[in-house]
Structure 1
Amino acid sequence: MFDHYPKWSQEFARKYLSRTINQFILHGNVHDLVPLKEENGTKFNRLKSFLADEFFGARDFVIFYDRASGIYFRDKESQADFNQAIAGRDSLVGTEYAQKMPKDPVRVMSLLEQYFRLRLDQKKSVGLIIDYAETIVPMSDAASIGNEDRTSLVYLSRWAHDPMFLASDFTTVLITENLADLNKTLVQNPYTTDIKINIPGENDRLKFIQFETEKDSWEDLSEVKPEIVAQQTAGLNLVNIRSVLSNARENKEKITFEGLSEAKKELIEAEAYGLLEFVETHYTLDNVAGHKQVKSHLRQAVKALKAGRQDVMPMGYLVCGPVGTGKTFLVTCFASEVGIPMVKLKNFRSQWQGVTEGNLEKILSLLKAMAPVAVMIDEADAYLGDRDASGDSGVSSRVFSQIATFMSDTANRGRIVWFLMTARPDLMPVDLKRQGRAEEHLALFPPHTEEERVELFEAMAKKTGLTLSEEYIPKLIEKGEKTFSGADMEAALTRAKFRAASANEEAVTPEILDAALADFLPPTYPEEVELQTLSAVIECTSKELLPERYRDMDRDDILSTIEELKFRVG
């Protein structure tokens, strides 16, 4: 019966026809176009137009309300009928609402209730669509809710379970982007149900591209096929895609693979309110010095993903090791080599009630739509919080719960790959480190053998653009007379370049290099570094991935040393 409707509206229709619910919350991708299958193809309408003209097309009256526009109507008949009813009310109580409609929720709700009861008593059918519902009944705790918000909540709750409203052909639709932005009492009301509108899938994107360009010559618009454009626009909604097509049409700029990737990144970052950032690099795992076993392991994951074996991938990785060992660089290079986008979560927390959860809901919806995608969270021990966190009205514990639940969704295995990075894995909640979430624990350590030290020197020389006057490997590095992490080596080589520039030398001579390396004193926190190192050893989930010097260490001794170091470090 509803096969020509999108899935979310089929669910909407089934629930409404059960005659037990008349109040619905639509959330998610609510500012997009809605596909509607017709005999001559698929057409696309704005959500409110779809609801009013198609979904509620047979209703006698359809009314819209939002805080900025006030009350408005689907058609002139609905408006005329409402004005007639309000004029009668004005003559009775002396108001002048027929001349100037109120916009504030309290007076609007009062007017609407009187109108609804009048028309439902006459067996008329009515639909009410409230846009930007979060401005009418915003998220707030019971102690801080204002009188206006409280009154709006009472009206909406009453309409949801009033026997007269339930027995009549009446529906209230609340539209909001983030469910977390709405008052929890309303969302959890047993007489109210919420339905999520997802970002369109690849098939819907292709149909829209074909619909939008049916009068165009595709060769004039794009250098890549429509199927490739549909594939590469994962994470974008139809309005975003229309923007890409319009730019190609109006500005005569053909769509290219590179241009499409850049436009997609800009649009997704804008959709996520700047809370997501794409991480890009031209490097691959070949540019990562040392960490031989870990690189080999990650390359096996690359092969699995490229072969379509998402089922064998871990849900996520915990990458740990002392500061300066190149955790972030390694993960970025992995994403570059496997050919999937890598995004970094930026600070989504807010001081305002409910905003943090709303931001996170938006981010997680985008990640699901963008798949396959890798997600990088640096300093994860501090960033993700804890289930038992307190002191912020429960925000941190709710955020933790949202992320933990999303990470453990097995439908995302191999499609959303999590990388949680930390120098202190012992501070990470066990809930996130367990199997089914960050399943694979990788440990990185400073170079130990001569081969590793030389490899790190050569890699950092290339990265920093170090030009030597002759081929030369410093003895200090070959013999391991000083311990350098990747960050230390980069800083020391940059100083060598500085010394050469100060001496008007175009290239760094062996003497200058030796002097710079000998002079370099990295900040030393020996106990903290040892604590981070041993924590990484004890956290690693594969003996093969540990350097030989750590494989046969007694784990009880390591744990005892860690506890002693924690006490001394404080």
Structure 2
Amino acid sequence: MTKARKGDAADPLAELPVWARKLAQKYYTKTVNTFLLYGAVRDLQPLTQEDGSRGFGTLRTFLAEELFGGRDHVLFYDRSSGIRSSSPDTQKELQRTMAGYDALYGTDYAKSLPRDPARALQILENFLRMRLSEGRSLALIIDFAETLVPGGEMSHLSAEDRFVLATLEKWAHDPQFLAGDVSVVLLAENLADISPRLSRNPFVAPLELPLPMEEERLEYVRFKLEGKKLAAVSDVPLAALAKMTAGLSRINLDRVLTEALERGIRITTEQLKEKKKELIQAECHGLLEFIEPVNTLDAVAGHAKAKEMLRGAANALKKGRMEVMPMGYLVSGPVGTGKTFLVSCFAGEIGIPVVKFLNFRSQWQGVTESNLEKIFNLLKALWPVAVMVDEADTFLGNRDSGGDSGTSSRVFGSIASFMGNTVYRGKIVWFLMTARPDLLPIDLKRQGRAEEHLALFYPETEAEREELFKVMQKKTGLKLEVPSISELIPTGTRQLSGADMEAVLVRTRFRALAQGREQATVEDLKAVFEDFVPPSYPLEIELQNLVAVQECTSRELLPESFRRLDRDHITRRVRELKNLLEQG
């Protein structure tokens, strides 16, 4: 199958990437001849050059020269380029076959091969069968397979698409093809873009091409430098560069290194982070927001027990003890309690990247599943990574299909399955944030998914308010000596959230500036407090507090006022509040 034959003394599969070894092993069983490669199919792959040194080239080159280098004939086909051969000998053989075909059927294919799938696949099948009958070995590589067998309902496919699907399904279990030395390889970036009749066919083997891991990125950087010293172009050491480029393909890594080598743009930690963010967001087309945390948990005001728990998790990650990490966290609490900020600071505590889910749903059939697949592939390459899902109760949906041909149900099932995959424990840490955890499906917040339930509340004690004030002072840049912030807050003002406190301090600075002063005073702050009327939604806030209490998995996280409440009383009051809000 490869340049070296299977019977050689040296293992011909030893130097192949993992996905290629799996393909070869399946091929040698003689039970599968059709392979569906998806994932990083546009990335560079390792090649063995004529002098025995290591090089890199396209997947097309890798398949033709490395994986199928020992085949008699290797052919390529896609809608744009039509039928192509990998060598002059195969091209001559193809021309000879087409001349005979023309004589038999009155066509003129020897001069110009058709590109449309209906005729092209018929020609290819004829060529494959003739060469197999002669005992030849062949490989056919079909690129952009999603344009030939697109995903979606069968009734929505064109007549041509149905013909192609039927042809490829027939090839997959054809006795002559299974018995002969032939491989059909389909290439697509996303498995979800391919018709499930093919991708789930038992005679078709789907194989994912992952983004390069750390050691593979390290190998590519060494190859790209070609003996040059990294220090000449980079402030980042080699090992750190390989680690920090997690989530980048070799092509993306090539862009970073080419800029440094040819344009003299020196690689620094900050420049690399910014470039990585830019490349990943471009790859994801707005599906993910890449957040580089700038704070640690020291920047979080209050929530002492929650910070203690997250610091423990951070220490476990730093020690590489991924097996003790929760699969994910459910972070609940009323609006303005700093749920998003807490998660960002946790990531900053251990220096891992944070990605935030953006809108991956689409009105077009199949696109939502395809977008989700892109996100999952990137997360697997980025680990360790924290995944932030804001307003999780509405964003992730549920198992109810909702009249959308089952898309919502399939998407929810994919997310739940991915979240619960214990292979990623400690590598992909999920944070589901919501003010209404009672609306989040139990499938996501059970053990094995969002295992730890943290509850955040507004500051209640004077010490908590003082800490919140100092943190917000630093954030807003308000330099002001205040003996006691609690004394400035008017009597009767409800508990202030972090967002409320930030709004007060920003208004204080604005008041001073409006009066022609750069420096605000205590009197400015006192005046703003007396004028400030925080948005008041008492029933909603009470409900958000109580459902957070219900979901919390640690009694120590609860303020004293909630810790003493009877659970039955909480349940009854939640039911009452929901009824009142529905009536309102």
TM range (shorter): over 0.9
Q: Does the CA contact (< 8 Å) of 1:320 and 1:536 recur in 2?
A: yes
Q: Indicate the residue corresponding to 1:19 in structure 2.
A: 30
Secondary structure of the residue that 2:155 maps to in structure 1?
coil
Q: Does the CA contact (< 8 Å) of 2:47 and 2:66 recur in 1?
A: no
**Which among 81, 90, 115 is matched to residue 78 of structure 1?**
90
User: What are the Cα deviations for residues 334-392 of structure 1, in whole angstroms up to 9, with x where unaligned?
Assistant: 11122111111111111222121121112112111111111111001111111234321
Instruction: Give, in angstroms, the shift of residue 36 of structure 1.
Output: 4.5
Structure 1: segments with no counterpart, 5+ residues:
none
**Which among 239, 262, 265 is matched to residue 253 of structure 1?**
265
Q: Does the CA contact (< 8 Å) of 2:462 and 2:486 recur in 1?
A: no
Instruction: Give, in angstroms, the shift of residue 40 of structure 1.
Output: 4.5
Q: Hey, what's the Cα distance between the residues in 2 that align with 1:79 and 1:413?
A: 50
Read off the aligned partner of 1:490 and give its amino acid letter. Answer: E
Percent identity over the alignment is 54
Instruction: Give, in angstroms, the shift of residue 542 of structure 1.
Output: 0.3
Q: Hey, what's the Cα distance between the residues in 2 that align with 1:160 and 1:478?
A: 76
Q: Indicate the residue corresponding to 1:450 in structure 2.
A: 462
Q: Indicate the residue corresponding to 2:406 in structure 1.
A: 394
Q: Is 1:287 matched with 2:296?
A: no
Q: Indicate the residue corresponding to 1:241 in structure 2.
A: 253
**Which among 33, 40, 52 is matched to residue 44 of structure 2?**
33
Secondary structure of the residue that 1:319 maps to in structure 2?
strand
The structure-2 alpha-carbon separation of the partners of 1:469 and 1:503, relative to structure 1 and needing over 3 Å to count, comes to farther
Q: Hey, what's the Cα distance between the residues in 2 that align with 1:81 and 1:540?
A: 71
Structure 2: segments with no counterpart, 5+ residues:
1-10
Q: Does the CA contact (< 8 Å) of 1:453 and 1:477 recur in 2?
A: no
Q: Is 1:216 matched with 2:237?
A: no
Q: Is 1:199 matched with 2:211?
A: yes
Q: Hey, what's the Cα distance between the residues in 2 that align with 1:201 and 1:306?
A: 19
Q: Is 1:178 matched with 2:193?
A: no
Q: Hey, what's the Cα distance between the residues in 1 that align with 2:319 and 2:270?
A: 24
Q: Indicate the residue corresponding to 2:570 in structure 1.
A: 558
Instruction: Give, in angstroms, the shift of residue 226 of structure 1.
Output: 1.9
Q: Hey, what's the Cα distance between the residues in 2 that align with 1:56 and 1:297?
A: 53
The structure-2 alpha-carbon separation of the partners of 1:511 and 1:220, relative to structure 1 and needing over 3 Å to count, comes to closer
Instruction: Give, in angstroms, the shift of residue 467 of structure 1.
Output: 4.1
Q: Indicate the residue corresponding to 1:543 in structure 2.
A: 555
Q: Does the CA contact (< 8 Å) of 2:72 and 2:137 recur in 1?
A: yes
Q: Does the CA contact (< 8 Å) of 1:443 and 1:537 recur in 2?
A: yes
Instruction: Give, in angstroms, the shift of residue 302 of structure 1.
Output: 2.1
Q: Indicate the residue corresponding to 1:126 in structure 2.
A: 138
Q: Hey, what's the Cα distance between the residues in 1 that align with 2:286 and 2:446?
A: 30
User: What are the Cα deviations for residues 247-271 of structure 1, in whole angstroms up to 9, with x where unaligned?
Assistant: 1110122322332222222222222
Instruction: Give, in angstroms, the shift of residue 534 of structure 1.
Output: 0.2
Q: Hey, what's the Cα distance between the residues in 2 that align with 1:281 and 1:22?
A: 47
Read off the aligned partner of 1:394 and give its amino acid letter. Answer: G
Q: Is 1:418 matched with 2:442?
A: no
Q: Hey, what's the Cα distance between the residues in 1 that align with 2:436 and 2:470?
A: 28
Q: Indicate the residue corresponding to 1:356 in structure 2.
A: 368
**Which among 158, 175, 193 is matched to residue 163 of structure 1?**
175
Q: Does the CA contact (< 8 Å) of 1:454 and 1:477 recur in 2?
A: no
* Larger CA deviation: 133-142 vs 247-256: 247-256
Q: Hey, what's the Cα distance between the residues in 2 that align with 1:418 and 1:318?
A: 8
Q: Indicate the residue corresponding to 1:54 in structure 2.
A: 66
* Larger CA deviation: 238-247 vs 179-188: 238-247
Q: Indicate the residue corresponding to 2:451 in structure 1.
A: 439
Read off the aligned partner of 2:17 and give its amino acid letter. Answer: P
Read off the aligned partner of 2:104 and give its amino acid letter. Answer: L
Q: Does the CA contact (< 8 Å) of 1:8 and 1:195 recur in 2?
A: yes
Q: Does the CA contact (< 8 Å) of 1:470 and 1:509 recur in 2?
A: no
Secondary structure of the residue that 1:239 maps to in structure 2?
helix
Instruction: Give, in angstroms, the shift of residue 61 of structure 1.
Output: 1.6
Q: Does the CA contact (< 8 Å) of 2:47 and 2:55 recur in 1?
A: yes
* Larger CA deviation: 105-114 vs 455-464: 455-464
* Larger CA deviation: 361-370 vs 477-486: 477-486
Q: Is 1:510 matched with 2:552?
A: no
Q: Hey, what's the Cα distance between the residues in 1 that align with 2:52 and 2:209?
A: 25
Secondary structure of the residue that 1:143 maps to in structure 2?
helix
Q: Hey, what's the Cα distance between the residues in 1 that align with 2:176 and 2:92?
A: 24
Q: Indicate the residue corresponding to 1:9 in structure 2.
A: 20
Instruction: Give, in angstroms, the shift of residue 304 of structure 1.
Output: 2.1
Number of residue pairs the alignment of both structures matches: 570
Q: Indicate the residue corresponding to 1:430 in structure 2.
A: 442
Read off the aligned partner of 2:392 and give its amino acid letter. Answer: A
Instruction: Give, in angstroms, the shift of residue 41 of structure 1.
Output: 4.5
Q: Indicate the residue corresponding to 2:6 in structure 1.
A: none
Q: Hey, what's the Cα distance between the residues in 1 that align with 2:216 and 2:124?
A: 37
Read off the aligned partner of 1:329 and give its amino acid letter. Answer: F
The structure-2 alpha-carbon separation of the partners of 1:470 and 1:568, relative to structure 1 and needing over 3 Å to count, comes to closer
Q: Hey, what's the Cα distance between the residues in 1 that align with 2:168 and 2:545?
A: 57
Q: Does the CA contact (< 8 Å) of 1:277 and 1:346 recur in 2?
A: yes
Alignment of 1:333-372 (within 5 A): 333-372=345-384
Read off the aligned partner of 2:157 and give its amino acid letter. Answer: I
Instruction: Give, in angstroms, the shift of residue 185 of structure 1.
Output: 0.3
Read off the aligned partner of 1:269 and give its amino acid letter. Answer: Q
Secondary structure of the residue that 1:247 maps to in structure 2?
helix
The structure-2 alpha-carbon separation of the partners of 1:307 and 1:477, relative to structure 1 and needing over 3 Å to count, comes to farther
Q: Hey, what's the Cα distance between the residues in 2 that align with 1:338 and 1:9?
A: 35
Q: Hey, what's the Cα distance between the residues in 1 that align with 2:209 and 2:496?
A: 51
Q: Does the CA contact (< 8 Å) of 2:137 and 2:180 recur in 1?
A: yes
Secondary structure of the residue that 2:156 maps to in structure 1?
coil
Instruction: Give, in angstroms, the shift of residue 181 of structure 1.
Output: 0.7
Q: Hey, what's the Cα distance between the residues in 2 that align with 1:217 and 1:485?
A: 53
Q: Indicate the residue corresponding to 1:138 in structure 2.
A: 150
Q: Hey, what's the Cα distance between the residues in 1 that align with 2:338 and 2:315?
A: 23
Instruction: Give, in angstroms, the shift of residue 478 of structure 1.
Output: 7.8
Read off the aligned partner of 2:327 and give its amino acid letter. Answer: M
Q: Is 1:486 matched with 2:498?
A: yes
The structure-2 alpha-carbon separation of the partners of 1:338 and 1:479, relative to structure 1 and needing over 3 Å to count, comes to farther
* Larger CA deviation: 331-340 vs 220-229: 220-229
Instruction: Give, in angstroms, the shift of residue 88 of structure 1.
Output: 2.6
Read off the aligned partner of 2:45 and give its amino acid letter. Answer: V
Q: Is 1:277 matched with 2:289?
A: yes
Q: Hey, what's the Cα distance between the residues in 2 that align with 1:71 and 1:543?
A: 67
* Alignment TM-score, normalising by the size of structure 1: 0.95
Q: Hey, what's the Cα distance between the residues in 2 that align with 1:482 and 1:122?
A: 87
User: What are the Cα deviations for residues 214-254 of structure 1, in whole angstroms up to 9, with x where unaligned?
Assistant: 33233322233322222222222222222222111101223
Instruction: Give, in angstroms, the shift of residue 328 of structure 1.
Output: 0.6
The structure-2 alpha-carbon separation of the partners of 1:469 and 1:230, relative to structure 1 and needing over 3 Å to count, comes to closer
Q: Hey, what's the Cα distance between the residues in 1 that align with 2:43 and 2:484?
A: 60
* Larger CA deviation: 108-117 vs 467-476: 467-476
Instruction: Give, in angstroms, the shift of residue 274 of structure 1.
Output: 2.8
Read off the aligned partner of 1:527 and give its amino acid letter. Answer: L
